[in-house]
Amino acid sequence: MDIAFVLYPGMTALDLTGPYEVLAPNPGVRAHFVAATPGPVTCDSGMVITAGSALGDLPRPDVIVVPGGSGWRAALDNETELVAWLAAAYPHATWTTSVCTGSTLLAKAGILTGRPATTHWSVRDVLADLGATVSTERVVIDGDVVTAAGVSAGIDMGLRLAAEVWGEETAQRIQLVLEYDPQPPFDTGSVDSAPPEMVEAVRRLVRG
């Protein structure tokens, strides 16, 4: 199973590494970091991840994982090769997935038109304008497409996908290996629970 983990400038590392840690270690998986051009790609936090392959080197991956990040708007405008690759690769993939604002790239490629999908809460309107039917769920599975809400939801997405591919028992073992048992110290992880002034500040930050 070839899994394409897509890289582009300004992506968020956890959007990619969360699903990677869930999916990549499984037997038979060949994980590929792909980008428009092979080489180092700088995430929005400054972390550098190296793409070992160009997009064109992997035209028909079995699984596609598209992260989001603060560079989402620039990616929508500038990553034309990536969007074209997504549109071309999607019909051949078994699963196409996104995390956070990565769903806007799937939508730009025409993959989410008229389909339920989720994204980071601050860009739900953008996703709707791109043709998706926006959901507020943390993970949405619609046929062969799986979308996850903001950043940390990528781990949930990976586990849901692992259950679909390898069965629930395997997914549960992965969760235990990762000791994924969230107990956040604050109740501000949702737009519904955070103070309104914090919500607006974060909205401005993400929207640029």
Active-site residue list: 100
Q: Which residues contact 117 (CB under 8 A, 6 or more apart)?
A: 98, 103, 106, 107, 127, 132, 133, 134, 135, 140, 142, 145, 147
Own/partner long-range contacts of 170-176 (Cβ < 8 Å, ≥24 apart): 170/26, 174/22, 174/26
Using alpha carbons only, give the angle 141, 29, 145 rounded to the nearest 5 degrees: 15
> Are the C-beta atoms of residues 90 and 96 closer than 8 Å to each other?
yes
Q: Which residues contact 167 (CB under 8 A, 6 or more apart)?
A: none
> Are the C-beta atoms of residues 158 and 99 closer than 8 Å to each other?
no
> Are the C-beta atoms of residues 92 and 144 closer than 8 Å to each other?
no
